[in-house]
Amino acid sequence: MVQYSNLRCEVKDSIGYIVIDREAQLNALNQATLDELQDVFMHFNADNLVRGIILTGAGQKAFIAGADIKEFTDLSVIQARSLSERGHILFSDLIQGAPKPVVAAINGYALGGGLELALACHIRIATESAKMGLPEVSLGLIPGYGGTQRLPALVGKGHAMQMILTGDMIDAQKAAAIGLVNEVVPQEQLMARAETILQKIFTRSRSAVTQAIDAINAAEDKTRKGNHVEMDAFGHLFGTADFKEGVAAFLEKRAPEFK
């Protein structure tokens, strides 16, 4: 496993773990961390031994408290535009577009770019004390890593408008009520719950899981026709060994054994 300066990563029981490890800075996403995230997602996405990914932050205070504001001071208009574009490409292509499930284990503050990173993940689990928000307007900015696009898709336009325009944080219970996180658990159960969800997914057909992620993502992608992606994937899966095994197992009243 490659050693990173800002991440702790390992593979265990088919899960690729990524811990953003800048605890003293509340795991703020500086550009070096974005570089390393790009590298590890490319690595994990291509590694057949990794069947799912869990992303979390070091310590108990923060998942990620946003993009690193200390790096913002020297950026020109053009550099800021390319930083945003870079985040979009990383979050869309490598995280949301990962061919295996990615779970955000939100262990504290998930703010700004940190919440946007969680929004790009496929599933979000939060601790009871987690706080989430997009406070960019308080810096004279707007979200730049997809927040204006992904948040309304997840929680509806009204809640997204209120969160982005006020910049206020919401607690985990409210986040669950509006669909921003899937589940809220006590801090000590966070990783175990994320692992249990992934282990359940690992019992399913790997190719079906990959196609399902792609078809669900296609619904939000204006360059693709989601219905057609679903039809093509549905047809394609009929030709797979997993489909034959899944149906045979059902008819024989046994659990499937996917290869």
Looking at the Cβ atoms of 59 and 97, the one nearer to ligand COA is 59
Residues that bind ligand COA (CB under 6 A): 25-26, 28, 65-70, 109, 111-113, 135-136, 139
**What count of other Cβ atoms lies within 10 Å of the Cβ of residue 26?**
21
Looking at the Cβ atoms of 25 and 240, the one nearer to ligand COA is 25
Looking at the Cβ atoms of 16 and 87, the one nearer to ligand COA is 87
Looking at the Cβ atoms of 70 and 81, the one nearer to ligand COA is 70
In Å, what is the CA distance from 107 to each residue of 33, 68, 152, 255? 18, 18, 23, 35
How is residue 175 written in tokens?
């986040």
b/e sequence 37-74, b meaning 16+ C-beta within 10 Å = bbebbeebbeeeebbbbbbbbbbeebbbbbbbeeeeee
In terms of DSSP H, where are the helices of the chain?
31-46, 77-89, 113-120, 147-155, 157-166, 172-177, 190-202, 206-218, 226-238, 241-251
Looking at the Cβ atoms of 138 and 203, the one nearer to ligand COA is 138
Query: Where in the sequence numbering do the catalytic residues fall?
Result: 116, 136
Nearest to 178 by CA among 163, 190, 166: 163
The least CB distance from residue 163 to ligand COA, in Å, is 13
Q: Alpha-carbon distance 54 to 12, whole Å?
A: 11
The least CB distance from residue 24 to ligand COA, in Å, is 6
- Residue 160, helix vs strand vs coil: helix
End-to-end CA distance of the chain: 25
User: Phi/psi at 156 (nearest 5 deg)?
Assistant: 95, 155
Looking at the Cβ atoms of 88 and 204, the one nearer to ligand COA is 88
Per-state percent for the chain, helix, strand, coil, to nearest 5: 50, 15, 30
User: Phi/psi at 74 (nearest 5 deg)?
Assistant: -95, 0
